[in-house]
Amino acid sequence: MRPLITLVCAALVTVSMAVPSAAPGAEDPSQPADVLVSRQLAAQANLRVGDIIMLSEDQNGSRPRRFRVAGVYEPTPDPMRFAAKRLEVRLHLPDLISLTADPSDPASTESVSALNLALLDADDASAVSSTIAARMPGLVVRPATRSTDEGEVFSVIDRFHRAIAIVTLLGSTAFLLALMVIRAEERRDIIGILRLVGISARSVFTEVLFEGLFIAIAGALLGVGIALLGEGLVNRFFQWRYDTNLIFVRVTSRIVFESVALAIPLGIAAGLAASWPLFRRDVVSLIRR
């Protein structure tokens, strides 16, 4: 027995410019109209191109209509609802209207959830939106290319991530300083001996500076490597977890630059701060005599 698929949300249906008489389903009433199903729905319901399915407006399966699966499509990833299961079917608008129209309400064939407009000049989107909204109070009109709320949401998420990054930076600075202090204590005798054999404090300081620089560069590069590895792992895991092509983590060149630009001075500064007390002591105390 064929599975009965229920339309989940009418708002997912694309708007077709075809007039009812030109719709595929209307050309030959004996042939089922074509629909597209999302990859996720095709996988869940085990659908293939050419299969005949039944669609109904409600979960009870009342007034079902036959359709033919003409293709399987990959839904455009949406970061605002990446966790939602994309069980979707796309119909031609006349087919959807005939499927959902209330026979007792003639006006129901004139109702749609949304209209998509293609403008001659995309730069006119704001002006057209304002004009339509002014003429039709109560209608929500907004440019498709710019959603202020969504932009604001991701701007807030960005600030949130930056705040967490600052906290992580503080924690890792403390970690780094603690390690450098231990390392400086280990080198106390060596620095004392170097000073005793005649190497100037300035030369030893320069050596410590360059050592810190090399360690910081190596650490920063290792960090970038771990981030790149993490990028692949996180993306693969969450793409598998939510069955989506959405990119969750992207290590951009700007992020790499910011990280390296922060890590290197921080590493050098931590090394110098930890070693600084050793350069202020006299040689005798360094070798514990």
What residues line the site for another protein (CB under 8 A)?
Answer: 9, 11, 58-60, 81-84, 113, 126, 129-131, 133-134, 137-138, 140-142, 148-149, 152-153, 156, 159-160, 163-164, 167-168, 170-172, 174-175, 177-179, 181-182, 185-186, 234, 238, 242
Which residue spans within the chain are E strands per DSSP? Answer: 4-6, 33-38, 52-56, 65-73, 89-90
188 contacts 278 by C-beta, under 8 angstroms = yes
Q: Minimum distance between the CB of residue 130 and another protein, rounded to whole angstroms?
A: 4
The answer to whether 270 and 212 are in contact (CB under 8 A) is: yes
Residue closer to another protein, measured from CB, 43 or 178 = 178
Alpha carbon 178 to chain centroid, angstroms? 35
Rounded to a whole number of angstroms, the minimum distance from the CB of residue 84 to another protein is 5
Least Å from the CB of residue 206 to another protein: 24
**Shortest CB 238 distance to another protein, Å:** 7
Nearer to another protein, 98 or 129 (CB): 129
Comparing CB distances to another protein, the nearer of 163 and 218 is: 163
In 3D space, the residue among 40, 45, 103 whose CA is nearest the CA of residue 73 turns out to be: 40
What is the nearest approach in angstroms of another protein to the Cβ of residue 28? 31
Q: Which is nearer to another protein, 93 or 234 (CB)?
A: 234
Residue 61 to residue 4: CA distance in whole angstroms? 7
Q: Answer for the pair 286, 188: CB distance below 8 angstroms, yes or no.
A: yes
| Comparison of 153 and 228: residue with beta carbon closer to another protein | 153
**Do 38 and 44 meet the contact criterion of CB atoms below 8 Å apart?**
no
| Strand duo 33-38 + 89-90: pairing | antiparallel
